[in-house]
């Protein structure tokens, strides 16, 4: 004969395990914290290779430089950019204004704008590659392996850079 208390305890334990909070994605510890689980993903085959000197400090320096540029504008920034991961290899871009990047098309427009900005940098122009490299290629040069762009509320899109 089975002990009813043992059965109840077992059911409660099983329920606790099933209902316990978990990260949004086992492979993405930032989903659910900085942005919602990405609904869309893509892979970008870069036309550039990672620079030998690209390391954590270089990537963090890039993010600091972009942030300083955004903060120098006479208006509040529409998005924030930062790097995460043990080697700061994951770039995250989150919109700060309601409705600014709430669709894939708006997110791609922001990325296209960042491509134009990247092409105007001394960094790419000195290397003679500004005319054909994209923002994703610049990210690859710096050693970023993933970019996640989000409205910070309900939308997120993730790009794996190879």
Over residues 52-104, the pLDDT tens digits come to: 999 999 999 989 988 998 899 999 999 999 999 999 999 999 999 998 999 99
Give the distance, in angstroms, between the CA of residue 161 and the centroid of all CA atoms in the same chain: 11
Residue 132 exposure: Cα atoms within 13 Å on the Cβ side: 6
SS3 37: coil
- Which residues on adjacent β-strands are paired with residue 95? 79
Percent of the chain whose pLDDT exceeds 90: 62
């Amino acid at each position: 004969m089975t002990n009813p208390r043992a059965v109840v305890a077992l059911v409660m334990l099983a329920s606790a395990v099933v209902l316990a909070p978990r990260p949004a994605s086992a492979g993405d510890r930032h989903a659910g914290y900085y942005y919602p689980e990405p609904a869309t993903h893509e892979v970008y085959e870069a036309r550039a290779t990672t620079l030998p000197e690209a390391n954590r400090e270089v990537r963090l320096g890039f993010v600091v430089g972009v942030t300083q540029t955004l903060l120098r504008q006479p208006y509040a920034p529409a998005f924030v950019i930062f790097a995460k991961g043990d080697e700061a290899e994951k770039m995250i871009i989150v919109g700060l204004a309601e409705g600014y990047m709430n669709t894939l098309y708006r997110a791609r427009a922001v990325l296209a704008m960042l491509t134009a900005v990247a092409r105007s940098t001394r960094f790419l122009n000195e290397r003679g590659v500004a005319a054909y490299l994209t923002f994703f290629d610049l990210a690859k040069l710096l050693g970023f392996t993933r970019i996640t762009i989000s409205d910070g509320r309900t939308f997120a899109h993730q790009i794996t850079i190879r």
